[in-house]
């Protein structure tokens, strides 16, 4: 969980830049975090 969390923390600024979001609580950011979370889960948990 910690590795996934750290990956999300690293990814959040990139997601916000790419989506032009002003807050982490925008729909597009939430959607991207879920997708990133899935990728990180596959990477860290087998």
Partner 1 sequence: MPENTLHEPPTAKEDGVFLNIPYDQAFEPLYLAYIAGVRAFRLLPRATLEIPGGERRLDRILALICDCRYSFHDLSRVELSVKRPATPRFNMPFELGLAVAWQKFREPTHTWCVFESRTWRAGKSLSDLSGTDVYVHDGSPAGVFRELRNALCWRTINQRLRK
16 binds partner 1 (CB under 8 A): no
Work out how close the CB of 26 gets to partner 1 at its nearest, in angstroms, rounded to a whole number: 7
14 binds partner 1 (CB under 8 A): no
- Locate 41 and state its tokens: 């889960």
Q: How far apart (Å, rounded) are the C-alpha atoms in residues 14 and 33?
A: 11
Q: How far apart (Å, rounded) are the C-alpha atoms in residues 15 and 11?
A: 6
Count of residues for the chain?
A: 46
21 binds partner 1 (CB under 8 A): no
Binding positions for partner 1, rule: CB under 8 A: 1-2, 4-5, 7-9, 12, 23-27, 30-31, 33-34, 37-38, 40-41, 45
């Amino acid at each position: 969980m910690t590795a996934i969390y750290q990956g999300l923390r690293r990814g959040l600024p990139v997601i916000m830049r790419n989506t032009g979001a002003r807050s982490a609580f925008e729909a597009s950011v939430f959607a991207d975090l879920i997708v990133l979370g899935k990728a990180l889960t596959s990477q860290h948990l087998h």
